[in-house]
């Protein structure tokens, strides 16, 4: 038994598999309970303390282990034995003595099939996730439109009581934040589902970018959180005579999200610097905050939906989808987007936007 197990380990190791062994089912279960999670288990049936059937059932009972592949390798070779073994939902049932090519083929096929199942499940989960987002976004817009209509009946300027006016402002700002969230979800869905990444001929001039930032600060949804008085804002753009291949409205959405992120993670000065220049057929637009930068892992995670860096410290509001929207819109417009730390250790977002051919 031990020799066979060691031979099996050596054969699979020579095929570049990482292999761990256990003397019986109980010891294998103990390894699993201590955090070892293999992709595939090759298991005998007749073993002391816990046989192969019992180990297989233990794996099926735990949700975290149900994705582990399972192959029986047993001397029980009758037709009834094989049928009984396969009834446990295993990937393969091999009988001893097994030829090495047959063993390797069974392992390869099982691992490939398990990978296909995982990819199919991931795709399905992503589809369900998108469908949920779409439905939630649609359902929220209807009551929000009713609230919008109701608020329009009030003239905030005509409210005589300061207290009433204050409460109405709270309602308006809360409404605008929810509406902005719904719009983020919608824009991310539209960008991810876009069949045509970019509409040819739609451009903006580099010289228009400062005006875009002015528009952002004037928005009520942005104004409720930050104003130009709250931010030390510097813009220094070179090569302003260039036009960029990007949807103007979507460029504004991307810049608004990145600007809000930069303000959020800046120090108390809230100094934001925007620079830009032409480089290798693209225009690099950089937005740099005055914060402490981001760890490498966070730089990779920032664009994932629902990721919120240091939420427990920053007490952030929202769902953490703003930068995911930026990434989706950037891909739609064929813009290369990256996040890095500057020489001064501040965080900065860099858009590499295609320059329109004259």
Give residue 18's pLDDT. Answer: 92
Q: Which one, of 12, 177, 232, 176, lies nearest residue 100 by Cα?
A: 12
Residues 252 and 334 in one domain: yes
Give residue 335's pLDDT. Answer: 93
Q: 3-class SS at 154?
A: coil
Give residue 86's pLDDT. Answer: 93
The answer to whether position 112 is within a domain reads no
Give residue 3's pLDDT. Answer: 43
Dihedral of CA 340/342/343/344: which sign?
negative
Residues 35 and 85 in one domain: yes
pLDDT in 10s for each residue of the chain, 358 residues: 344 788 889 999 999 999 999 989 999 999 988 888 899 999 999 999 999 999 999 998 888 888 899 999 999 999 999 999 999 999 999 999 889 999 999 999 999 999 998 888 888 877 776 676 667 666 666 666 767 666 666 655 555 677 777 777 777 767 777 777 777 777 666 666 654 455 556 789 999 999 998 888 777 555 456 655 567 888 999 998 999 999 998 899 899 889 988 888 777 777 889 999 999 889 999 999 888 777 666 667 777 766 666 554 554 455 567 788 888 889 888 899 998 887 777 888 999 999 988 6
The answer to whether position 108 is within a domain reads no
Residues 295 and 329 in one domain: yes
Residues 129 and 225 in one domain: no
CATH code (residue 56): 3.40.50.2300
Residues 84 and 186 in one domain: no
Residues 341 and 254 in one domain: yes
Taking residue 171's Cβ as centre, other Cβ atoms within 10 Å add up to: 15
Domain count, the chain: 3
The answer to whether position 340 is within a domain reads yes
Taking residue 260's Cβ as centre, other Cβ atoms within 10 Å add up to: 18
The answer to whether position 259 is within a domain reads yes
Give residue 196's pLDDT. Answer: 47
The answer to whether position 118 is within a domain reads no
Residues 223 and 172 in one domain: no
Give residue 299's pLDDT. Answer: 65
Give residue 297's pLDDT. Answer: 65
The answer to whether position 211 is within a domain reads yes
The answer to whether position 198 is within a domain reads no
Q: Which one, of 257, 275, 222, lies nearest residue 328 by Cα?
A: 257
Residues 176 and 215 in one domain: no
Which residues pair with residue 352 across a beta bridge?
Answer: 284, 336
Give residue 155's pLDDT. Answer: 55
Give residue 221's pLDDT. Answer: 53
Which residues pair with residue 73 across a beta bridge?
Answer: 94
Residue range of the domain that includes 249: 203-354
Q: Residue 197: is it exposed, middle or buried by C-beta count within 10 angstroms (0-12/13-18/19+)?
A: exposed
- This prediction has a pTM of 0.53
Among 168, 192, 216, the domain boundary falls at 192
Residues 348 and 209 in one domain: yes
CATH code (residue 327): 3.30.565.10
């Amino acid at each position: 038994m031990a020799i066979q197990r060691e031979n099996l380990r050596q054969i699979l190791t020579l095929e570049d598999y990482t292999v761990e062994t256990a003397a019986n089912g109980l010891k294998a279960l103990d390894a699993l309970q201590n955090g070892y999670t293999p992709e595939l288990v090759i298991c005998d049936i007749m073993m002391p303390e816990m046989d192969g059937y019992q180990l297989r059932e233990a794996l099926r009972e735990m949700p975290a282990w149900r994705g582990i592949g399972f192959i029986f390798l047993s001397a029980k070779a009758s037709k009834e034995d094989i049928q009984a073994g396969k009834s446990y939902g295993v990937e393969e049932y091999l009988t001893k003595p097994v030829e090495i090519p047959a063993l390797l083929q069974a392992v390869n096929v099982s691992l490939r099939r398990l990978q296909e199942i995982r990819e199919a499940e991931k795709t399905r989960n992503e589809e369900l996730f998108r469908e949920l987002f779409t439905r939630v976004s649609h359902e929220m817009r209807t009551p929000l439109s009713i609230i919008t209509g109701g608020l329009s009946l009030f003239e905030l300027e005509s409210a005589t009581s300061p207290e009433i006016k204050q409460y109405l402002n709270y309602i308006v700002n809360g409404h605008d934040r929810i509406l902005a969230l719904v719009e983020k979800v919608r824009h991310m869905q539209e960008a991810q589902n876009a069949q045509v990444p970019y509409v040819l001929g739609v451009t903006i001039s580099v010289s228009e970018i400062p005006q875009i930032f002015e528009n952002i600060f004037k928005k009520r949804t942005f104004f409720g959180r930050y104003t130009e008085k709250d931010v030390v804002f510097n813009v220094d753009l070179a090569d302003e005579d260039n036009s960029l291949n990007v949807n103007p409205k979507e460029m504004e959405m991307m810049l608004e999200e990145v600007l809000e992120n930069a303000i959020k993670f800046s120090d108390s000065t809230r100094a934001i610097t925007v620079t830009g220049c032409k480089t290798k057929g693209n225009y690099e637009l950089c937005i740099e905050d005055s914060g402490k930068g981001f760890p490498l892992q966070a730089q990779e995670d920032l664009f994932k939906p629902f990721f919120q860096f240091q939420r427990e410290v920053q007490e952030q509001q929202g769902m953490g989808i703003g930068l995911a929207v930026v990434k989706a819109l950037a891909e739609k417009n064929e813009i290369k987007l990256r996040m890095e730390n500057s020489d001064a250790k501040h965080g900065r977002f860099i858009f590499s936007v295609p320059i329109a051919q004259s």
